[in-house]
């Protein structure tokens, strides 16, 4: 089953803002379906869970600004992330000729996490995932039979409980775990064209960032709050074997299909070592 690491694999994460916008989602799914080669889609949750939770009388609980996943919230995200969103994405992808299969971490024991330990705060049914929790054989079996895994942001603990897990973490963990077997490009699609030099200019995409660039960009004031942890996670993924990380707009995905190594800025910001 082992592949030469030269087989390319895209791990592509879309966030809630794509899920929440039917037109943007449809465009994205067309581009994703058209992307050649091996690929995995990881989706976030979006606002749907909050909206359906409100109708069910399940309020989103926050303590010290952190979202808490109690029993009711876990049932809600299991329904919405694992059922509604995941299965609708899979059905749409099938219609576009993309042989998708939707998974949570419990399916095939693909992603096993650890329930976040209770310290100052009890986050409830939240799972902390790392690359060690990814069962590589499950992904190999599916990828090599031509399937395209579509991952909901849910893991399990192996004790019978599902766990709410950050979709960015799932994407990174899967990318790192599969990097020994495939040449992995990890793509985060969000609502900007990439990492911006000037936050007020949506076209000021920084085409490429290497570790040595960070100090200079910080001095320039180019890196907004919040982007530095993302960069550090991206460098960590690259140090763990991921070929490169791309942060870009969902609409730019089609540029990826056009060439093996896309031109910087056409797809967003490329982060590599």
Within 10 angstroms of residue 131's Cβ, the number of other Cβ atoms is 18
Identify the DSSP state of 131: G
Q: Considering only residues 20, 70, 107, 128, which one is a binding residue for a copy of itself as defined by CB under 8 A?
A: 107
Q: Considering only residues 63, 95, 121, 263, which one is a binding residue for a copy of itself as defined by CB under 8 A?
A: 95
Residues with Cβ within 8 Å of 252's Cβ and at least 6 positions away in sequence, in order, are: 189, 193, 266, 267, 268
Residue 100 interacting with a copy of itself (CB under 8 A): yes
Contact 60, 116 (CB under 8 A): no
Residue 56 interacting with a copy of itself (CB under 8 A): yes
Q: Considering only residues 52, 68, 136, 266, which one is a binding residue for a copy of itself as defined by CB under 8 A?
A: 52
Smaller CB distance to a copy of itself: residue 112 or 116? 112
Contact 169, 179 (CB under 8 A): no
Residue 109 interacting with a copy of itself (CB under 8 A): yes
State how far the Cα of 94 lies from the Cα of 76, in Å rounded to an integer. 25
Instruction: Please choose, out of 13-21, 34-42, 63-71, 92-100, the segment that lies near a copy of itself by the rule CB under 8 A.
Output: 92-100
Beta strands 183-190 and 8-14 are parallel
Instruction: Please choose, out of 102-110, 171-179, 240-248, 260-268, the segment that lies near a copy of itself by the rule CB under 8 A.
Output: 102-110
Q: What angle do CA 272, 206, 223 make, to 5 degrees?
A: 90
State how far the Cα of 258 lies from the Cα of 191, in Å rounded to an integer. 21
Tell me how far, at minimum, the Cβ of 59 lies from a copy of itself, in Å: 14
Contact 245, 168 (CB under 8 A): no
Residue 127 interacting with a copy of itself (CB under 8 A): no
Could you say which residues in the range 131-170 bind a copy of itself, by CB under 8 A? 141, 145, 147, 154, 156, 158-162
Smaller CB distance to a copy of itself: residue 56 or 218? 56
Within 10 angstroms of residue 81's Cβ, the number of other Cβ atoms is 26
Within 10 angstroms of residue 86's Cβ, the number of other Cβ atoms is 23
Q: Considering only residues 21, 75, 191, 213, which one is a binding residue for a copy of itself as defined by CB under 8 A?
A: 75
Smaller CB distance to a copy of itself: residue 109 or 259? 109
Instruction: Please choose, out of 4-12, 104-112, 123-131, 203-211, the segment that lies near a copy of itself by the rule CB under 8 A.
Output: 104-112
Smaller CB distance to a copy of itself: residue 157 or 191? 157
Could you say which residues in the range 2-41 bind a copy of itself, by CB under 8 A? none
State how far the Cα of 50 lies from the Cα of 236, in Å rounded to an integer. 32
Token pair in block for residue 236 = 């960590």
Identify the DSSP state of 117: P
Interacting residues with a copy of itself (CB under 8 A): 52, 55-57, 75, 78-84, 86-88, 90-92, 94-96, 99-104, 106-109, 141, 145, 147, 154, 156, 158-162
């Amino acid at each position: 089953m082992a592949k030469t690491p030269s087989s390319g694999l895209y791990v592509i994460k879309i966030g809630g803002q794509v899920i929440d916008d039917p037109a943007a989602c449809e465009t994205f799914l067309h581009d994703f379906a058209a992307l050649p080669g091996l690929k995995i889609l990881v989706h976030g949750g979006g606002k749907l869970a909050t909206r359906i939770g409100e109708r069910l009388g399940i309020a989103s609980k926050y303590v010290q600004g952190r979202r808490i996943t109690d029993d009711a919230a876990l049932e809600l995200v299991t329904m919405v992330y694992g059922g509604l969103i995941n299965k609708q994405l899979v059905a749409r992808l099938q219609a576009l000729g993309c042989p998708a299969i939707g998974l949570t971490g419990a399916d095939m024991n693909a992603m096993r996490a650890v329930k976040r330990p209770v310290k100052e705060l009890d986050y409830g049914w939240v799972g902390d995932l790392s690359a060690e929790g990814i069962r590589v054989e499950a992904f190999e079996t599916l990828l090599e039979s031509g399937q395209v895994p579509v991952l909901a942001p849910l893991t399990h603990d192996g004790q019978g409980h599902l766990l709410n897990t950050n979709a960015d973490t799932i994407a990174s963990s899967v990318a790192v775990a599969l990097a020994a077997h495939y040449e992995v490009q990890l793509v985060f699609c969000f609502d900007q064209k990439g990492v911006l030099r000037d936050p007020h200019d949506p076209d000021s995409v920084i085409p490429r960032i290497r570790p040595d660039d960070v100090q200079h960009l910080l001095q320039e004031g180019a890196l907004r709050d919040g982007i530095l942890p993302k960069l550090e996670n991206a460098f960590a993924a690259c140090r763990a074997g991921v070929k490169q990380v791309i942060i870009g707009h969902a609409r730019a995905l089609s540029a990826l299909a056009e060439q093996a190594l896309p031109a910087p800025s056409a797809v967003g910001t490329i982060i590599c070592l």
